[in-house]
Amino acid sequence: MTSVGQTLRTAARRVPDADARLLLAHTLGVPATRLLTLGELDADALARFEELLARRETGVPVQYLTGTAPFRHVEVAVGPGVFIPRPETEVMTGWALERLAEAGESPLVVELCAGSGAISLAIADEFPAARQYAVELSPDAVGYAARNLAGTGVGLLQADMAEALPELDGAVDVVIANPPYVPLEAYDGIPAEVREHEPGLALFSGSDGLDAIRVVAGVAARLLRPDGWVCAEHAEVQHESAPAVFVRHGGFDQVRDRVDLNDRPRFVTARRRQTRAR
């Protein structure tokens, strides 16, 4: 028998302390805040924990090992084949929630490049009056999104966003997207843990990283009502090039770049013009 404290101290020599705590809590089926109130671990628990530690040492993301990732006030099911939601995206989601609150009693929102459905799940949790649709191309990701969005009323579609939801053209209040935005030429600069485990479809987007964002701009222009809003995440270095996509489109005004929790450029917002672009 080994104590929890000793087990964590030993594990922290192999993986980050926070990861060790999450993995041990997952092994024992308790919140991480309760770990130090427990006594000793039996051999079976130690063996299961050791297996998770060994996989974490090879670079498997801790969220894939626990099967969940936190996002705002919800827990999202994740695993191989789906992008892991990041805290940086929470600010953009909060901004979208503010726009929904201004849009009336039952606003209409569409999430593009939905992945696990984390954004849509957070909106359903915090603004249940919203009518929602989520669009995702990857079959693997759609499987996780279906699990996460079950019972929320969010309409989930597996489709190419460029052609999705034509029946909503001109009626949507908010379009939100966390599209792939890493340039292909930046492949080697992506941490090995990310590029070797998370799906490339959710990461890379053409030579300049803006291919998907260009599609988002076009789809948002089609879906949004006049004065409706779009927000789209981007890389820190795209603080000028991503907003420029929406400016060049011609169908938007009030184009502005915004920062994340770390005060770094992270997402662009734009309002649909009163008159449609030619």
Q: Which residues of 174-211 are buried (b: 16+ CB within 10 A; e: fewer)?
A: bbbbbbbbbbeebeeeeeeeebebbbebbbbbbeebbb
Band of residue 278 on the pLDDT scale cut at 50, 70, 90: very low
pLDDT in tens, 189-219: 888 889 889 999 999 999 999 999 999 999 9
Q: At what angle do helices 4-11 and 43-57 cross, to 10 degrees?
A: 20
As given in the structure block, the two tokens for residue 204 are 């890379």
pLDDT at 277 over 80: no
Structure confidence at residue 126 as a pLDDT band (50, 70, 90): very high
| Percent with pLDDT over 90 in the chain | 83
Closest to 229 in 3D by CA, of 174, 191, 188: 174
Q: Whole-model pTM?
A: 0.93
Distance CA 239, CA 257 (A): 6
**What's the confidence (pLDDT) of residue 1?**
66
Whether residue 65 contacts residue 52, with contact meaning beta carbons closer than 8 Å, is answered with yes
Of 24 and 186, more confident: 24
pLDDT for residue 36 is more than 50: yes
Residue 111 contacts residue 216 (beta carbons within 8 Å): no
The two tokens of residue 234 are: 């981007």
